[in-house]
Amino acid sequence: MKVGFIGLGIMGRPMAGHLIGGGHEVHLMSRSGVPRDLVDAGGIAHDTPREVAAAAEVIITMLPDTPDVEKVLFGENGVADGLEAGKLVIDMSSIAPLATKEFAARIRALGCDYLDAPVSGGEVGAKAGTLTIMVGGPEGAFERARPLFELMGKNITLIGPNGDGQTAKVANQIIVALTIEAVAEGLLFAAKAGADPARVRQALMGGFAGSKILEVHGLRMIERTFDPGFRIELHQKDLGLALDGARQMGLSLPNTATAQELFNACRAHGGAGWDHSAMVRALEFLADAQVAGGGD
C-alpha cells in the first residue's frame, strides 16, 4: 500500500519503520523533521500533512494529544486538504473519545473511512512490533487496515464503532496507572522493611501478583532508569480524559484520581518528562525512603 505516517516520536518512529520494512511505500512527516534512518530505509519525507495525504491511500497519525490531531487533520495544509474519496484515515494517537467521533464524522463527510486505533505497549512494544491495538470504526475499514496493524502489533481487536477504540485505551491507561501505583507501593514497602526489593520482585514474578508492569516497570524502579518510555505528562493527559469522562457520566474513579495526584506530585518536582514508572518517586517523597538506594 501507499501509506502516510505523521508523527515520528518515541512510538511513531519504530512503527513507521515496521511499515517500511513490510514493503509498503511510506510517506512521512513530523514537525521535528523526518529521521534520516527512515529515509535511508526507503521512507519518503514530506513537509506538510496535506502532501502526505495526497500521496497515500491510507494515512496514519501518531500524535501527543487531541488538539495536535485536530490541527494535523483539519488545520491549514492538513490531511483533509489532501484527501480524495475512498482513502482511509487511521488515528493511532490516544485522544478524547468524543472528539474522535467528531473527527470521524468530518472525515466520512469527505467520502473517506476513519479508524481510531490507539495502542498500548510503550516504546518496547513499538520497537518489537508487539503493540496492543484497540480499534474503533467500520469492519470493512478494519479489515483493509489489518495488514498494516499486523506489522505493528500482535493483539489487534475491533472494539466497536468510532470512539470505542479510544474508550478502550482510556480504560487501559486507568489499569496501567493503578498497577504502577500498586507495584510502587509493594516494592517500597519491601525496601522500607529491609528486604531486597530486587529479590522480592523476582519472587512475585512467579505468583498471582506477576504482571508486565512488575516485570518492566518494577525493574525500572529498582534500577532508577526513568528515561521515557512513556512520559508522565502523556499519562496525565490520558487520566485527565478518564476523569473528565467519569465526571460527565456521574462515575466515581477514586483510585484513578489518586494516581493522577501522584503524577502531579512528580511533575511538581520537575518530572513531566520522566517515565511513568517514576510515579514511585512521589511515594518515596512521602515515605522519605527509596525502593533502591543510590541516585535519583
Tell me which amino acid residue 50 is: R
- Three cell numbers at 91? 488515528
Scan for cell 514511585, then name that residue: 280
Tell me which amino acid residue 249 is: M
Alpha carbon 287 to its chain centroid, in Å, reads 30
Between CA 211 and CA 31 the distance in angstroms is 36
Phi, psi of 199 (to 5 degrees): -75, -35
Between CA 217 and CA 275 the distance in angstroms is 9
Catalytic: 127? Answer: no
Catalytic hit among 101, 127, 169, 212: 169
Contacts of 252 (CB under 8 A, 6+ apart): 246
- Three cell numbers at 260? 493522577
Q: What is the CA radius of gyration of the chain?
A: 20
CB 234 within 8 A of CB 266: no
Residues tagged active-site: 169
